[in-house]
Amino acid sequence: MLSERLANAFLAWVLLGAVLGLLLPGLLTPLASWIPVLLGLVMLGMGLSLQLADFRRVVRRPRQVLLAAGLQWTVMPLTAFLLTRLLDLPPGIAAGVILVGAAPGGTASNVVALLARGDVALSVSITAVTTLLAPVIMPLWVLVLLGETIQVGYWDLFRQIALIVLLPVLAGLVLRHLLDRIAPHSSVAIRGAFPAVSAIAVAAIVAIIVAASSGHLAGLSLPLVLVVILHNATGLLTGFLAARAAGLPRAAIRSCSIEVGMQNSGLAVAVAMAHFGPAAALAGVLFSVWHNISGAALAGWLRRRPV
């Protein structure tokens, strides 16, 4: 299927978006106001991928879901904060790193879990829980870790994250429920097309952010690259070790590792553009590119190992 091939080339789309952002900054920078709309479209696609059964799984095995969600809500924001301090990143860039650390799980993690032969149902459940609670958890961490350095309140962040994440996900969930009941063939077709739509939307977000941040690219340095790599590696390793120590099955261990290590950097980019500026958003773009590189490499390695 064409849509499946387009979705499988997700990393290529992201890299293409980055290149277009570098080549066409004057054309793409004015489109910055479209970032929340594009991210909302991605979140709508995530809602369409969910069913009520995904939430029933949370009730049936809460320990596995809460383990991964708890690690993501604590280890990732704290690691982001410590790395920005240890490597002395500028305030704008540091804010972007902390936004990524405080973000919920990304939809790409579900694809990576599938390719890695992980527990996909568990992966979807963890992503759903962290996403639905993002409007509450993410602003709290931002205010605690950034504190006096920002001029934005909790409810401002709550409203924006709820509009970008919570409402589209719930709309997608309701839409799928209705389509499955009254037009099942259309439901299958729409859900089949949305991964490709989401991949192109993310690539467009990357293109716009790179274009808007082109003036800051010269300021990129080795410390920021190290933060991106170390933050992602810490999440993947912590999720793996904690899940194994808890005695989870191998497929569940893989999903926990991937969920903890991969954040919704697109959401971090949207919040950064609204409240912190292009420099903070650029950190989110680098995370997005690296998450997909490391996730694809990890999935390829795990796929060849027995579950």
Domain boundaries, the chain: 33-43+52-167+197-303
Q: Give the mean pLDDT of 114-125.
A: 78
Q: How confident is the model at residue 185 (pLDDT cuts 50, 70, 90)?
A: confident
- Amino acid letter for position 50: L
Q: How confident is the model at residue 171 (pLDDT cuts 50, 70, 90)?
A: confident
Q: Give the mean pLDDT of 150-175.
A: 76
Asked whether residue 217 carries a pLDDT value surpassing 70, the answer given is: no
pLDDT at residue 236, rounded to an integer: 94
Structural fold of domain 33-43+52-167+197-303: Na+/H+ antiporter like fold (1.20.1530)
What CA–CA distances, in Å, run from 216 to 90, 183, 220, 280?
A: 12, 48, 7, 10
pLDDT at residue 283, rounded to an integer: 80
Nearest to 49 by CA among 168, 182, 224: 168
Q: Give the mean pLDDT of 197-226.
A: 76
Model confidence pLDDT, tens digit, residues 18-38: 888 888 888 888 887 887 888
pLDDT at residue 157, rounded to an integer: 73
Q: How confident is the model at residue 118 (pLDDT cuts 50, 70, 90)?
A: confident
Q: Give the mean pLDDT of 257-281.
A: 82
pLDDT at residue 296, rounded to an integer: 74
Asked whether residue 44 carries a pLDDT value surpassing 90, the answer given is: no
Distance of CA 14 to the CA centre of its chain: 13
Asked whether residue 245 carries a pLDDT value surpassing 80, the answer given is: yes
Between 179 and 244, name the one with better pLDDT: 244
Q: How confident is the model at residue 246 (pLDDT cuts 50, 70, 90)?
A: very high
pLDDT > 90 fraction of the chain, expressed in percent and rounded: 18
pLDDT at residue 216, rounded to an integer: 63
